[in-house]
Chains A and B, each alone.
Chain A
């Protein structure tokens, strides 16, 4: 009996290190689900978001393994909530890549708070970081940054005085519209025409004609990619030479692919970054890696989500292992990503810079015309 007991103890001691190895391995494994809209009207932007996150997760820091799956959130809030709850039920989630659709993010806020899990997103909807939720981290410049850049550039460079605003009736469009109005009011400029457009509207010529008849000297756009392309075509077809300062929808390669370079001539747009402009060697390397991985050209959304995911991995490299660790790191760290330097302003806004890109009419690849940093 004594011998048997000793043998059992020896066997247990011998097995202990072996058992510890997987335990240690599990301790270094981070579960980072990717919840993004890869179907529905935001599928193009959602695919960029997914690709950016997946590319970053493929290269975790030494000693860290990643557990991750991509879950489609579609475009409805309840599907997004179900997706997050399903991901949370699978185990200890360290952080989640969360959808860029503002209405979905608003629905996810209480779930993140209840489960104390940080959400990293590139949603531009201003309200998501105005709810005092400590688990939301937005890596795309909010409307307060992006629209400030758009309006400031329009005033300084194009000398606009009588703008027309065309915006989408989605949460994205209305949020941006409100910010554009606020920035114009600060500059004592009153728009001569405003129109909200449903994403299903096909013929934009009437809105364009009314803006022209109202005496607009410029068009400030807050439209998704497809409608932006429709509007650019309508402007070109009308022969109206008007200053166009668009939202980030214009800067997506999927949008510019629908247009001839001449239809883009002279137009400018705000975005978080323009990777295809290859401003730095690191940016060029990112573009090449992205193309090799996904056979597509990255846009600002892809780069922002890539940076966001890499910031979580950087926190992990510094020892963060749990959702609480990562939440704390994201709230306090400063991280130099490819697009910009990220740091929280105390409410989860991590991105405080934007760029203005402009098209010369000879190419679909824009040049970066201006860097904008929001002063604290």
Chain B
């Protein structure tokens, strides 16, 4: 296993995690609330891909638009049920309502698909291994690029950013804030759906996966800076770095053999958490965050 292969694996995993974290941070910016159902939307995306594949027998790259569209509708439903009725309540209300949505999604998946793991089809026909990972990196990069273009170079994007910066001012200048929030939920859920499809081929999907993904998204956004889009991507890559590169370091640096126990999979988790603690102490606003932002 050489450095190139490790970096390749790291980027593939990090790219998928970045999509999860991006959806999380979009809703955070648009509403000021944490969507704890984001991880379960990733899980739902994985099962949506499994379902569509059983009906259509298409490769993942053709299923991707369907999954993203389906999850966008789910995102609209989440906004209508779990956010808009509670938007004038304390933020804790939305935390709880999105946790409830996540639990419902998890149990619905258990009822609908059973508890066993399922695999989504590869992005490319017959694709396993390096080709699949390269496809994941390219698809994730394309989605992040499209998101950037939409936010920075379209009127809708400008309205979404205005809503994220200050909902009251946005409403005062005539932006339909609720519509923008619903659109943000739809975009965030479609990103979660894409991540679900990408992850469910390489790593399978089970109904209980959501908790793991929301934890990674939360950590990524905390590392990167609460509300920072660039920070969310950086944080996701850092998590993947610890999951993939840290355990492989003794392979790359034979001098570390003497302390190879420090580079086990278990130790990689501990090392990541130590870095997070240090970061919170030394730079609590995160790598790209602003010092004044509040954290949930």
The chain A residues found within 8 Å of chain B, CB to CB, are 38-41, 43-44, 46-47, 169, 195-198, 200-203, 205-207, 209-210, 213, 225-226, 229-230, 233, 237, 254-255, 257-258, 296
Contact = CB atoms under 8 A, between A and B. Distances in A.
B157 interface: no
Given A39-B208, A196-B265, A237-B129, A209 B1 contact: yes
Contacts of B206: 41, 43, 226
Contact of B128 (A43, A195, A237): A237
Contacts of B202: 202
Contacts of A198: 265-266, 269
* Interface core residue of A40, A200, A202, A258 (most chain B CB under 10 Å): A202
B243 interface: yes
A210 B208 contact: no
Contact of B115 (A43, A205, A229, A230): A43
B251 A230 contact: no
Contacts of B265: 195-198, 201, 206-207
B13 interface: yes
A43 B109 CA distance: 12
A169 B266 contact: yes
B266 A196 contact: yes
Contacts of A255: 117
7 contacts: A39-B115, A41-B208, A196-B265, A201-B243, A202-B13, A225-B116, A226-B117
A127 B103 CA distance: 33
Contact of A196 (B107, B110, B199, B264): B264
A260 to B, nearest CB: 9
Interface of B: 1, 5-6, 9, 13, 106-107, 110, 114-119, 128-129, 199, 202-204, 206-208, 212, 243-244, 247-248, 250-251, 260, 264-266, 269
A146 B5 CA distance: 36
Nearest to A208: B1
Given A195-B264, A226-B206, A257 B248 contact: no
A206 B247 contact: yes
A47 B115 contact: yes
A109 to B, nearest CB: 26
B115 to A, nearest CB: 3
B265 to A, nearest CB: 5
A40 B208 contact: yes
Nearest to A236: B128
Given A213-B251, A237-B128, 20 more contacts: A38-B115, A39-B107, A39-B115, A43-B110, A43-B115, A44-B117, A195-B266, A196-B264, A196-B265, A201-B243, A202-B13, A203-B244, A205-B248, A206-B1, A206-B6, A207-B265, A209-B1, A230-B204, A254-B116, A254-B117
B204 A229 contact: yes
Contacts of A205: 1, 5, 9, 244, 248
Given A213-B251, A237-B129, A43 B1 contact: no
A102 B202 CA distance: 30
A318 to B, nearest CB: 36
A257 B115 CA distance: 13
Nearest to B2: A209
A209 B265 CA distance: 13
Shortest beta-carbon contacts, A-B, top 7: A43-B115, A254-B116, A209-B1, A206-B247, A206-B248, A226-B117, A202-B203
Given A43-B115, A196-B266, A198-B266, A206 B204 contact: no
B204 A226 contact: yes
Contact of B244 (A206, A213, A258): A206
Contacts of B243: 201-203
A210 B250 contact: yes
B208 A43 contact: yes
A134 to B, nearest CB: 33
Nearest to A259: B119
A285 B261 CA distance: 49
A39 B110 contact: yes
Contact of A210 (B13, B247, B266, B269): B247
Given A202-B13, A207-B265, A213-B251, A258 B114 contact: no
A201 B244 CA distance: 9
Contacts of B248: 205-206, 209-210
Contact of A200 (B1, B115, B117, B212): B212
A70 to B, nearest CB: 14
A207 B243 CA distance: 11
A195 B265 CA distance: 7
Contacts of A197: 265-266
Contacts of B266: 169, 195-198
Contacts of B128: 233, 237
A43 B118 CA distance: 14
A205 to B, nearest CB: 6
A203 B10 CA distance: 9
A130 to B, nearest CB: 25
A229 B114 CA distance: 17
Contacts of B106: 39
A210 B246 CA distance: 12
Given A39-B115, A230-B204, A203 B13 contact: yes
Contacts of A169: 266
A258 B119 contact: yes
Nearest to B1: A209
A44 B116 contact: yes
Q: Could you say which of B13, B114, B116 has the most chain A C-beta atoms within 10 Å of its C-beta?
A: B116
Contacts of A237: 128-129
Nearest to B119: A258
Contacts of B115: 38-39, 43-44, 46-47
B194 to A, nearest CB: 17
Contacts of A226: 117, 204, 206
Contacts of B107: 39
A34 to B, nearest CB: 16
A255 B117 CA distance: 8
